[in-house]
Amino acid sequence: MRGVVLDGKRISQQILDELRPRIQAIRAKGRPPGLAVVLVGDDPASKIYVRSKIKTCHDLGIRSIELTPTADITTEALIEQVRPLSTDPAVDGILVQMPLPKHIDAEEVTSYVDYTRDVDGFGAYSLGRLVSNKPAPRACTPAGIMELLRRSGIPIAGKRAVVVGRSDIVGKPMALMLLHENATVTICHSRTANLAEECRRADILVAAIGKAAMIGSEHIKPGAVVIDVGMNRVSDRAEVERLFGDDPARLAAFEKNGSVLVGDVEPRAMRELSSAYTPVPGGVGPLTIAMLMANTVSLAEQHTV
């Protein structure tokens, strides 16, 4: 068996193309949709993510408003920058890029994002609506995964789903979204006993733990659909050769760059045991950005009725 690649780039492009006429309709009412992005400090990964988000905004005709305070800003000073965005008529969505510097109270800052502009779906109102399965912005990564499954024709109802990871950003909302589609859902985490045994029960396995290649062949039931949310950079040559010894292109990339990206699942095990899987990169990542744009457009439609 060799799993079918679930092409996140292709499906994200479908989603973006479907947004274009909706954006044109909003612009015809007097202004483009607006997304405010707050990037604190110089975290390299965050800068790459934000650059991709802003580029996609420009490509679609969404106005981006960028705030880039320095890493030494206080919680109070950051709140003073974030608070006015919730009443700015040109702003439909507000994204505070995580992680914030450790000295900043992230929960306190995001509490000043009005629920009508909670484009990430992380606020208490949006999460409550998710729990009760009512409309509101959904967390972008799990929402993108649900689109991927739906558009790939992968059945969810009646299937056993296992989510490895319990973060507020991916794990918990992922489990709820699968539950709302009538999957039987188990959430696993760092304290789960017999993790491999739990994972092997899964028809749909979602790995979102942030540890490179932690999920191996012993965790995957043959024929399962495997969704790898992880994005980890590996620079140890022996580990790269272990993970990608059968992939000349990835080995060449390592020789050129000194590191290579790997998900939370061992790539060879995922390819050989799954019926379908998401590659890293090119799987879940593009869908996260596409759903951020979709949430921005939906909020803009509500603001321009």
264 is catalytic: no
Residue with tokens 């790539």: 267
> 92, 97, 172, 203: which one is catalytic?
97
Write out the residue limits of the CATH 3.40.50.10860 domain(s) in the chain.
31-115
What does the pLDDT look like over 67-120, one tens digit per residue?
999 999 999 999 999 999 999 999 999 999 988 999 999 999 999 999 999 999
Report d(CA 229, CA 231) in Å as an integer. 7
Q: What's the rounded mean pLDDT across residues 195-204?
A: 98
| Whole-Å CA distances, 291 to 69, 105, 132, 141, 285 | 26, 26, 20, 7, 10
Catalytic option among 92, 118, 120, 228: 120
For the beta carbon of residue 235, count every other beta carbon within 10 angstroms: 11
| SS3 per-residue string spanning 81-107 | HHHHHHHCCCCCEEEECCCCCCCCCHH
Q: Is residue 287 within 8 Å of 9, Cβ to Cβ? A: no
Per-residue confidence band for 2, with pLDDT thresholds at 50, 70 and 90: confident
Q: What's the mean pLDDT in 149-155?
A: 98
Average pLDDT, the chain: 95
pLDDT bracket for residue 30 (50, 70, 90): very high
Start-end of CATH 3.40.50.720 domains in the chain: 140-284
Mean pLDDT of 116-142: 95
Backbone angles phi, psi at 110, to 5 degrees: -70, -20
Most confident of 5-19, 97-111, 235-249: 5-19
Q: What pLDDT is stored for residue 1 in this prediction?
A: 60
Sequential DSSP letters for 9-75: HHHHHHHHHHHHHHHHHHHTTTS--EEEEE--S--HHHHHHHHHHHHHHHHHT-EEEEE---TT--H
- CATH architecture label of 31-115: 3-Layer(aba) Sandwich (3.40)
For the cut 90, the answer to whether the pLDDT of residue 145 exceeds it is yes
Map residue 269 onto helix, strand or coil: helix
Annotated catalytic residue 97: yes
- Residue 149 has, within 13 A of its CA and on its CB side, a CA count of 26
pTM value?
Answer: 0.95
In this structure, the strands spanning 225-228 and 204-207 are: parallel
153 phi-psi bin (left φ>0, alpha ψ -120 to 50, beta other): left
CATH topology of domain 140-284: Rossmann fold (3.40.50)
